[in-house]
Each structure stands twice: as structure tokens, then as C-alpha cells.
Amino acid sequence: MKVMKKDHVMTPEKHYQTLSNHYRHVYQQKVFKVPLNGGFSCPNIDGTVGYGGCAFCSSRHGGEFAGNPLEPLDVQFEKGLRMMHKKWKDAYYIVYFQANTNTHAPLSRLKELFEEAIRLDPKIIMISIATRPDALNDDIIRYLSDLNRRMPVQVELGLQTIHEKTAESINRCHDLATFDRACRKLSDAGIEVVAHIINGLPGETKEMMLETVGHLNTLPIDGIKIHMLHIVENSKMGEDYKKSPWPLLTLDAYVDIVVDQILMLKKDIIIHRLTGDADRNALIAPTWIIKKFVVINRIDQTLRKKGLYQGDHYET
């Protein structure tokens, strides 16, 4: 059962559907994610489909802010809860399997972890699972569909770009058809789908980044995460950049691209992120992404100044 979107939640301040406003509209309460680390690997690391991982990925493989995989889930959950409650005293929770590929394991192991996770607290209202489209076989999707009848399931799929040349250069190791197929199968099973894209990948123009969003408009996705490329330590891209730096998007260029992506994005797609959280200790470039709220404020101000909203440039 997907969380119903009821209607478009936009405000004078936010000219697009933010995740926070969406959840407050649906649940009448603050909702936040508590990251958990199930100790998963990645098929692009262990040789299942490739080695080395995606070129932009650090040695922590997306788990910079996840829990400690050596600790039990209940311990990770309580630690995450204490941290989040410093900001919000009362809320509902989403258990979030974030690090690596969180369906890359035998089905029995997935059932063990996910069933435990949804029972950690009565205020848990959803389970969110970050994974790759090539790590979702039919048996796993059937199980997630069954789980979804008991607890809403959200699956995050890494796309980054629709352009195969870029995908090869970053060592993504799955093609666009695999992503499209996974989106449709998950949606057919009633599961909420969130697509993850990266702006500023080497060699990509603004037009190419807009084409990625245009393609997502044709798929049955419910949400999107938009990130700027982070060049980080302990990554293939980080090592290459330190040897021979290349031009990265400026803040102005990033804001311009994201604003146009928002305008062309269908109105019923929830925007989960417009920029990522950078690990300051690992970040090499660009340094402007550290000021997350400056980035978001610039995007908001641009939309308000133009009097435009998400979907205003959407073309069927």
C-alpha cells in the first residue's frame, strides 16, 4: 500500500512538494528517518556484477551517516533516535537501510533484518530500503509486496544518470533498461519508488541532466533525490580528481539546473532532497555544498522570484 498523496502540498515558501510537508500532510506529525546498517555488501564491489564500486562512492559506500554494522539493530536504532530527538522531541519514525545495497543478500537474511526492524518501536510507520535495480529479483519483490501490506515499504533506487556513456565512466554496472524494469515491477507490486540522481557528473551538460529528469517523468516513481556530485576521499573519482582536477558545477550553475529540473518535474513527484549532506572530513570538492541551507535557500528564492512552481514546464 503506497502512502497516498491526497493533493499537491506546496506553500508560499516552497514552490515544490517537499518530503517534510508531504509527511506532515499525511501523518499530521513530524516524520524522520533513523538510519540502520544491515552489514550488506554491493554487487558492484564483490564481483557479482563488477568490482570497485561506483567511481564517486567512498569506502563507506553511502553509509557515512548510517549505523555501525557491528551493533545490533536495536542498539543502532536507539542511538539514532537519541540523535534525532535532539532536534525533534515528538515524531513518527522511518527505519532506513541506507549503506551499500540493502537487498543484496539471501531472502532469508532480508526477512530476518526487515522483520526485526519494523518491530523496533510502535511509532515506526515505514521501512525505507536503498538498493540497486539489479539486486531485486522476483522473489525479493514478492516479499517486499507482502511486507508492504503490513508496513509501508519505500525503495530507493540509484540511477544517477540515464546516459550510458556516463554510467560506464562511473562504473555503475547496470544499464538504464534494468532501472526502468525495476521501477515498473516495484510500482506494479504497490511499492513506493524513489529515484536518486546526481548532477555534475563528469562530461554531462545541463541538457543531459534535464533529460534524466525528463525520463523519470515517464516512469512510475513517487519521489526523487537530487544531489550534487561529491568528490570524496577514498573513492576512485577522488583519487583521479586530486591528480588532475576538472571543472565542477558552481553554486550558481547548480541552482540554475535544479530550478529547471523542478519546473519540468511532474507535480505529483515528492522531492526528498535537493542537495546532499557532505561529510566534511571526507569532502574534497566542491566546498560550497557544505552550506546546505544556502543551496536550498537559493533554489527557493529563485522559484519565488520567478513565481514558478514544480511542474510548470512539465510536458506530457
What are the sequence ranges of the domains in the chain? 19-306
3-class SS at 107?
helix
In this prediction, residues 90-108 reach a mean pLDDT of: 95
- pLDDT tens profile 45-90: 999 999 999 999 986 655 556 789 999 999 999 999 998 888 888 8
- pLDDT tens profile 189-242: 999 999 999 999 999 999 999 999 999 999 999 999 999 999 999 999 999 999
**Whole-angstrom Cα distance, residue 174 to residue 131?**
12
With contact defined as beta carbons under 8 Å apart, do 255 and 301 qualify?
no
* 103 secondary structure, DSSP code: T
Write down the pLDDT at residue 315: 86
Of the pLDDT bands very low, low, confident and very high (cuts 50, 70, 90), residue 6 is: very low
**Whole-angstrom Cα distance, residue 198 to residue 153?**
23
pTM of the model: 0.94
Place of cell 518501536: 121
When computed from its CA atoms, the radius of gyration of the chain, rounded to whole angstroms, is 19
Q: Is the predicted pLDDT of residue 11 greater than 90, yes or no?
A: no
19-306 topology per CATH: TIM Barrel (3.20.20)
